[in-house]
Amino acid sequence: STILVLHGPNLNMLGTREPEVYGHETLTDIDDRLKARATALGHHLLHFQSNAEYELIERVHEARGEGVDYIIINPAAFTHTSVALRDALLATAIPFIEVHLSNVHAREPFRHHSYFSDIAEGVICGLGSQGYDLALEAALHRIHQSTK
């Protein structure tokens, strides 16, 4: 199966960006680890980061043609703003898990609302980069269940 990991704006700055909130690992560290795990289990993992809303939307559209089975997405600040990215996920109807490194509910009130959580299969937040690893395990489990 094929899993697409999407990262929204400013996540390319991981490692140096507010490390007390987001940790010291870089996005490459995280993507490499996820890819190694997926590959070891015989799956394909694609990853993409953009600071531009339209690029993320177009990446979601492309995912459909590529036969992506599952999406793991950290929409970053677009979580709280983007009806357009929400609609792209609804349009492609690929199941997804929403991930946040920080516990958005323990932060500013404007981070408490997400345009994605009600249409996600699940949401993981506050566990740092391990949230992506847990999301990958859950995604693979769910793909396996649905192809039985």
Q: What residue ranges bind ligand DQA (CB under 6 A)?
A: 10, 74, 76-77, 79, 100-102, 104, 111
User: Beta partners for 123?
Assistant: 98
Run of H or E residues at 132: helix 130-146
Q: Is 22 a catalytic residue?
A: yes
Residue 97 bridge partners (DSSP)? 72, 122
- Is 50 or 102 the residue whose CB approaches ligand DQA more closely? 102
- Three-state SS for 16-53 is CCCHHHHCCCCHHHHHHHHHHHHHHCCCEEEEEECCCH
Eight-class DSSP state of 92: H
User: Is 141 marked active-site?
Assistant: no
Candidates 7, 22, 47, 132; catalytic one: 22
Q: 76 or 139, CB closer to ligand DQA?
A: 76
Q: 49: which strand partners? A: 7
In whole angstroms, the minimum distance from the beta carbon of 77 to ligand DQA comes to: 4
Give the span between the Cα atoms of 20 and 148, in whole angstroms.
Answer: 42
How far, in Å, CA of 11 to CA of 129, rounded? 11
Tell me how far, at minimum, the Cβ of 116 lies from ligand DQA, in Å: 10
Of the pair 8, 68, the CB lying nearest ligand DQA is at: 8
Q: Which of 7, 43, 47, 100 is catalytic?
A: 100
Specify the residue, 46 or 104, whose C-beta has the smaller distance to ligand DQA. Answer: 104
144 assigned binding-site residue: no
Q: Which amino acid is at 95?
A: P
**Binding residue per annotation — 111?**
yes
Annotated binding site: which residue ranges? 74, 80, 87, 101-102, 111
Binding residues for substrate: 74, 80, 87, 101-102, 111
Catalytic residues, by residue number, are: 22, 100
